[in-house]
């Protein structure tokens, strides 16, 4: 490659950049993606530790928790609240959307970076500040916010009720900053995919995971607006003393619930869609078969995104909403399972007749389908208003949404990390450790939440700090189930040590791989592993769709997008 002398100089100074400008203040989409991913992993460990502490309190009430101490009722509330907030806003969102989106979008659509690299860096910095504020809020006078991640007023609106004059506003501020970060990021993703595609990358040739991340960003953007307005009102209620949510003054607490869930329910699909996109990529590579019904899957994800705006009030069936509206929301909620079921069927059809290779990423992807199915089916009981009135706020709900969120935020994330790890670091993860970690995680996950379905069906309410004050809910059978769930959680956390060891060991010592270790088609595998700044030696041109596996009359069973026919 012949280069002008000045360009060489630039290149040399580029190589000599310091650690800070290279890894901390970089505008490279891959570095920012990994920053999001590592921040998300740290937050996941914090959130997991919180789960450990309050599960210990539930299993062994009022005893000293190792590594923590005695859990007071107020601390218990703060732990549960922040566990939920962290796992959704600071784990699922940054890892699945921001992390994967940043790392994958430019590579998969064949360009050198995001269209707004500095905006991208800004969005990570805002996100980082929001995480710091959230963690600091736990140490604020009065403790961290304990009004649940849904922050219903009047409990959240007045320090008189929640006793956290600093914790509540700081929590809200952290969430608001996190929204800003993802709005900026989402606009960047959307514009990048719309405008910066490689020549030949038509809409129907974009890999499904990129489509899903963009649809998720748009659903987030469209749903979060009213909550931003609502959060401004709540912050004023907390800090200034207005009474937007005070019925005595003419405000309305139900308004917040609606504004929250108008965002909160689409948010489920915001994190779900990228996860299913990851699964689609992986099963087609490891089944060596064309993705079944690309257009149908795309259509179902758009349908899911749109219907998700019509279902929110199923979270409020017991909040006293108009029963006629409750019926409508029951119908729309049951409707949204149709596109998702269709998507799952398309995945199963992709597997049918494929030459399936059960490598670690494929195991995670298959586990996603199986576990998410349980989450989806148990959701029917909660989406229907008649049964929800009984199940509302029991551990059944907790088990249900962990059967949706765990596959999304943990299983699909592990699928993505194990699949793209060679691209991220140029080395392979250890397969044996990966399989150990997989089975340990999956078995213990089910052992946590199947018992909670039972305790929930038996009537255990989810917001109780110690069941000793409720003898009917403190039977030996229910207590044994609670202990089982807690022990399983500890096992699950211990198994993550295997993953962390594997991850950091393989990052430096793993078996080096070439550009395309999985023989996959999408463009990121045509770049070197790890891709340099600028990604591609020559910018790729796209000649076909991303899923041409096992094409008859071809020597290779895959057909990369950038290879001319």
Partner 1 sequence: MSHAADLHAAHVPIATRRSATGIPTARLAVWWVLASEIVIFGGLIGSYVMLRLHHPHWAEEAAHTNTLAGAFNTFVLLTSSLAAVLAHQAAEAHDGPRAARFLGGTILGGLVFLLVKGFEWSNEIAHGFTIFRDVFWSYYYVACGLHGLHVIAGMVIMAIVAADARRGRNLHRVELIGIYWHFVDAVWIFLFPLFYIAK
Partner 2 sequence: MSSHDHAATTPGHPSYVRIYLVLLALLGVSLLGPTLEIPLVTLITAFGIAVVKATMVAAYFMHLNIEERYVWYILLLMLGFMLVMFAGIAPDVMLPAGQNWLHLPIEPPAPPAHP
The upper half-sphere exposure of residue 141, i.e. CA atoms within 13 Å in the direction of its Cβ, equals 2
216 neighbors 97 (Cβ within 8 angstroms): yes
* Residue 544 binds which of partner 2, partner 1, none (CB < 5-8 A, kind-dependent): none
CA atoms of 35 and 24, how far apart (whole Å): 8
* Residue 248 binds which of partner 1, partner 2, none (CB < 5-8 A, kind-dependent): partner 2
Query: Between residue 255 and residue 314, which ones bind partner 2 under the rule CB under 8 A?
Result: 255, 258-259, 262, 309-310, 312-313
Q: Does 229 bind partner 2 (CB under 8 A)?
A: no
Give the ranges where 426-459 is alpha helix by DSSP (H).
Answer: 431-457
Which residue, 45 or 254, is less far from partner 2 as judged by CB?
254
CA atoms of 452 and 470, how far apart (whole Å): 17
Specify the stretch interacting with partner 1 by CB under 8 A; choose among 67-75, 93-101, 533-541, 548-556.
Answer: 533-541
Q: Does 250 bind partner 2 (CB under 8 A)?
A: yes
Which residue, 307 or 369, is less far from partner 2 as judged by CB?
307
137 neighbors 165 (Cβ within 8 angstroms): no
Rg value, the chain, Cα:
24
Mask of contacts with partner 1, 38-67, x by CB under 8 A?
------------------------------
Which residue, 192 or 516, is less far from partner 2 as judged by CB?
192
Short-list 183, 170, 176, 274, CA closest to 220:
183
Q: Which distant-in-sequence residues (6+ apart) come within 8 Å of 377 by Cβ?
A: none
Which residue, 293 or 507, is less far from partner 1 as judged by CB?
507
Which residue, 22 or 461, is less far from partner 2 as judged by CB?
461
**Of positions 295, 324, 463, 508, contacts partner 2 by CB under 8 A:** 324
CA atoms of 425 and 437, how far apart (whole Å): 20
Which residue, 224 or 384, is less far from partner 1 as judged by CB?
224
Q: Does 512 bind partner 1 (CB under 8 A)?
A: no
162 neighbors 145 (Cβ within 8 angstroms): yes
- Residue 140, SS3 per DSSP: coil
Short-list 151, 5, 196, 167, CA closest to 75:
167
Q: Does 252 bind partner 2 (CB under 8 A)?
A: yes
Joined tokens for residue 211: 């489509």
Cβ count near 337 (within 10 Å): 17
Dihedral (Cα; 180, 90, 347, 529), 10-degree rounding: 90
Short-list 192, 202, 208, 216, CA closest to 105:
192
Which residue, 113 or 524, is less far from partner 1 as judged by CB?
113
Q: Does 243 bind partner 1 (CB under 8 A)?
A: yes
* Residue 313 binds which of partner 2, partner 1, none (CB < 5-8 A, kind-dependent): partner 2
Asked, as a colleague might, if the bond just before 530 is cis with ω within 30 of 0, I would say yes
- How many residues sit in the footprint of partner 1 (CB under 8 A)? 59
Q: Does 323 bind partner 2 (CB under 8 A)?
A: yes
Smallest gap from Cβ 318 to partner 1, in A, equals: 22
**Of positions 249, 370, 386, 497, contacts partner 2 by CB under 8 A:** 249
**Of positions 64, 204, 500, 539, contacts partner 1 by CB under 8 A:** 539
**Of positions 81, 223, 486, 529, contacts partner 1 by CB under 8 A:** 223
DSSP letters, 330-375, are HHHHHHHHHHHHHHHHHHHHHHTT------HHHHHHHHHHHHHHHH
* Residue 191 binds which of partner 2, partner 1, none (CB < 5-8 A, kind-dependent): partner 1
CA atoms of 301 and 284, how far apart (whole Å): 17
Query: Between residue 154 and residue 193, which ones bind partner 1 under the rule CB under 8 A?
Result: 183, 187-188, 190-192
Q: Does 14 bind partner 1 (CB under 8 A)?
A: yes
* Residue 195 binds which of partner 2, partner 1, none (CB < 5-8 A, kind-dependent): partner 1
Question: For the chain, what's the residue count?
Answer: 565
DSSP letters, 476-524, are HHHHHHHHHHHHHHHHHHHHHHHHHHHHHHHHHHSPB--S-TT---SGG
* Residue 254 binds which of partner 1, partner 2, none (CB < 5-8 A, kind-dependent): partner 2
Short-list 304, 318, 156, CA closest to 216:
304
Q: Does 320 bind partner 2 (CB under 8 A)?
A: yes
Which residue, 57 or 385, is less far from partner 2 as judged by CB?
385
Query: Between residue 165 and residue 224, which ones bind partner 2 under the rule CB under 8 A?
Result: 222-223
**Of positions 96, 224, 382, 408, contacts partner 1 by CB under 8 A:** 224
- Interface residues with partner 1 (CB under 8 A)? 1, 3, 7-8, 10-12, 14-15, 106, 111-117, 183, 187-188, 190-192, 194-197, 201, 221-230, 232-233, 236, 240-244, 249-252, 255, 259, 262, 528, 532-534, 537, 539
- Interface residues with partner 2 (CB under 8 A)? 222-223, 225-226, 247-250, 252, 254-255, 258-259, 262, 309-310, 312-313, 320-325, 329
């Amino acid at each position: 490659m012949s280069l002008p002398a000045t360009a060489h100089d630039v290149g040399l100074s580029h190589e000599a950049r310091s650690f800070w400008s290279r890894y901390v203040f970089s505008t490279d989409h891959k570095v920012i993606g990994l920053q999001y991913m590592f921040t998300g992993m740290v937050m996941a460990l914090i959130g997991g530790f919180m789960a450990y502490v309050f599960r210990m309190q539930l299993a062994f009430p009022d005893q000293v928790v190792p590594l923590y101490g005695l859990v007071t009722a107020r601390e218990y509330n703060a732990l549960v609240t922040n566990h939920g907030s962290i796992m959704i806003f600071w784990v699922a969102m940054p890892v699945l959307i921001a992390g994967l989106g940043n790392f994958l979008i430019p590579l998969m659509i064949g360009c050198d970076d995001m269209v707004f690299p500095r905006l991208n860096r800004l969005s990570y910095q805002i996100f980082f500040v929001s995480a710091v504020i959230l963690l600091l809020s736990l140490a604020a006078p009065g403790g961290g916010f304990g009004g649940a991640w849904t922050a219903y007023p009047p409990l959240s609106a007045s320090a008189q009720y929640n006793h956290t004059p600093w914790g509540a506003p700081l929590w809200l501020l952290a969430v608001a900053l996190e929204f800003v970060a993802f709005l900026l990021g989402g606009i960047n993703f959307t514009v990048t995919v719309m405008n910066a595609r490689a020549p030949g990358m038509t809409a129907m040739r974009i890999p499904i995971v990129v489509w899903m991340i963009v649809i998720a960003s748009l659903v987030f953007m469209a749903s979060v607006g009213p909550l931003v307005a609502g959060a401004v009102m709540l912050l004023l209620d907390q800090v200034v003393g207005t009474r937007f949510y005070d019925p005595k003054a003419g405000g309305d607490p139900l308004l917040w619930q609606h504004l929250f869930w108008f965002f909160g329910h689409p948010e489920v699909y915001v994190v779900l869609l990228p996860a299913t996109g990851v699964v689609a990529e992986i099963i087609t590579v490891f089944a060596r078969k064309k993705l079944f019904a690309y257009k149908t899957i795309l259509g179902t994800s758009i349908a899911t995104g749109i219907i998700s705006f019509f279902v929110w009030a199923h979270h409020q069936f017991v909040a006293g909403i108009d029963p006629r509206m409750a019926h409508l929301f029951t119908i729309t909620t049951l409707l949204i399972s149709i596109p998702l079921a269709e998507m799952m069927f398309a995945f199963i059809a992709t597997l049918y007749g494929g030459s399936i290779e059960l490598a670690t990423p494929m195991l995670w992807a298959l586990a996603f389908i199986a576990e998410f199915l349980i989450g989806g089916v148990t959701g029917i009981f909660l989406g229907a208003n008649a049964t929800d009135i009984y199940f509302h706020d029991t551990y059944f709900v907790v088990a249900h949404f962990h059967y949706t969120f765990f596959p999304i935020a943990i299983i699909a994330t592990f699928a993505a990390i194990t699949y793209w790890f060679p691209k991220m670091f140029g080395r392979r993860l250890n397969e044996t450790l990966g399989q150990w970690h997989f089975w340990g995680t999956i078995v213990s996950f089910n052992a946590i939440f199947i018992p909670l379905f039972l305790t929930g069906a038996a009537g255990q309410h989810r917001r109780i700090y110690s069941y000793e004050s409720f003898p009917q809910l403190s039977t030996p059978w229910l207590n044994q189930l609670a202990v089982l769930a807690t022990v399983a959680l500890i096992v699950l956390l211990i198994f993550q040590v295997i993953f962390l060891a594997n991850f950091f060991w393989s990052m430096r010592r793993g078996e080096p791989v070439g550009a395309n270790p999985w023989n996959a088609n999408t463009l990121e595998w045509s770049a070197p592993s790890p891709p340099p700044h600028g990604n591609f030696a020559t910018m790729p041109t796209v000649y076909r769709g991303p899923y041409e596996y096992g094409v008859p009359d071809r020597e290779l069973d895959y057909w990369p997008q950038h290879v001319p026919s």
